[in-house]
Amino acid sequence: MEANIKIALSKLINLTEEEWLVFSASLVTKHFKKGEFFLKDNDLCDHIGFVDKGFFNFFYLIEGVQHIRGFFFPNEFISNYPCFLLENKSKFYIQALEDSSVTLIHRDDLLMLYKTLPKVQELSRTIVENLYMEVSEKYESFFLKSPEERYLELMNSRPNFIQRVPQYMIASYLGMTPEGFSRIRKRNS
């Protein structure tokens, strides 16, 4: 599984083989069965992960109802990053939607690597910048795009995974009712 993260990181920074060996010594792979939680409400988030296989949703649970905030797909980083940075408790859940594996690095190890491998700071900055752009684009889409446009964009960017996600989750993620989602889906099938 470390091969996946090595390929992904090589697109963001150039680590020598020696630097990679130092970095990879801090990595641990963890497997999650479908339905298992990567993170729960009120948990401390002391890891950042990289999804090797499978995928996850992250959601708020409000009065027993899931409000889907997003998904973590293969070859993406996974964490509650604000919680990770501030060392406070999570306000949402991250759950495996199918059997999954994640390569993890602990917060303490990452902070140590910042000191020993300056390139890792550059890597973190790049990841945070990409995350900021993704969050900004999603926020902007709720103001500038119709629910149907958001649906079509999601279908174009993630067709294989969206087929495997329950429709109510997609509807929640796109900010619409299941009935509205069903109508849009029928019009576009």
Query: Would you give per-residue pLDDT tens digits along the chain (189 residues)?
Result: 578 898 988 888 899 999 999 999 999 999 999 999 999 999 999 999 999 999 999 999 999 999 999 899 999 999 998 888 889 999 999 999 999 999 999 999 999 999 999 999 988 888 888 888 888 888 898 889 988 898 898 888 888 877 888 889 999 988 888 899 889 988 887
User: Under a CB-based contact definition with an 8 Å cutoff, are residues 89 and 123 in contact?
Assistant: no
Residue whose tokens read 């973590």: 72
| Homologous superfamily assigned to 2-140 | Jelly Rolls (2.60.120.10)
pLDDT at 186: 87
Distance from C-alpha of 148 to C-alpha of 127, rounded to nearest angstrom: 29
Structure tokens at 173: 């993620």
pLDDT score recorded for residue 159: 83
**Alpha-carbon distance 27 to 109, whole Å?**
9
Residue 127, pLDDT score:
85
Alpha-carbon gap, residue 128 to 125, rounded angstroms: 5
Q: CA Rg, the chain, in Å? A: 18
Structure tokens at 122: 């550059």
- Helix/strand/coil for 71: strand
Confidence at residue 1, expressed as pLDDT on a 0 to 100 scale = 58
In whole angstroms, what is the distance from residue 140 CA to residue 104 CA?
Answer: 31
